[in-house]
Amino acid sequence: LAKTTQPISMDSYEGQEVNITCSHNNIATNDYITWYQQFPSQGPRFIIQGYKTKVTNEVASLFIPADRKSSTLSLPRVSLSDTAVYYCLVVFNAGNMLTFGGGTRLMVKP
């Protein structure tokens, strides 16, 4: 299982774009990159998943370079409510368990 490394914490201000980078040097061919968000005392919530290049949804964008050894979650114009822990995960296959690391604790300030 590919190990992921991401910053422990980040600070930002309302209205800014936030980019959280995750490294996964040992990612395998069949692995997907997935990001979850967790608010205090709540279950994790799926944000976005991608395999290569760029994926965008209504919440975020995910940038994956050609070698797939890293990925960047981009949150446009964050608000105070985006304060949460963001987890980068490498997922082998649909249905498989999720292996969470420590995540990145994002603090959005006014």
Partner 1 sequence: EPEVTQTPSHQVTQMGQEVILRCVPISNHLYFYWYRQILGQKVEFLVSFYNNEISEKSEIFDDQFSVERPDGSNFTLKIRSTKLEDSAMYFCASGRGSGAINEQFFGPGTRLTVL
Footprint on residues 53-92 left by partner 1 (CB under 8 A): 87, 91
Helical residues (DSSP H) of 7-77, grouped into ranges: none
CB 79 to partner 1: min, Å: 21
Binding mask 5-24 for partner 1 (x = CB under 8 A): --------------------
Q: Which of 49, 61, 74, 83 binds partner 1 (CB under 8 A)?
A: 49
The span from the CA of 5 to the CA of 108, in Å, is: 21
Q: Which of 23, 61, 74, 99 binds partner 1 (CB under 8 A)?
A: 99
Cβ within 8 Å of residue 104, ≥6 positions away: 6, 7, 8, 9, 10, 20, 85, 86, 87, 88
Q: Which residues of the chain form contacts with partner 1 (CB under 8 A)?
A: 32, 34, 38, 41-46, 49, 87, 91, 93-103
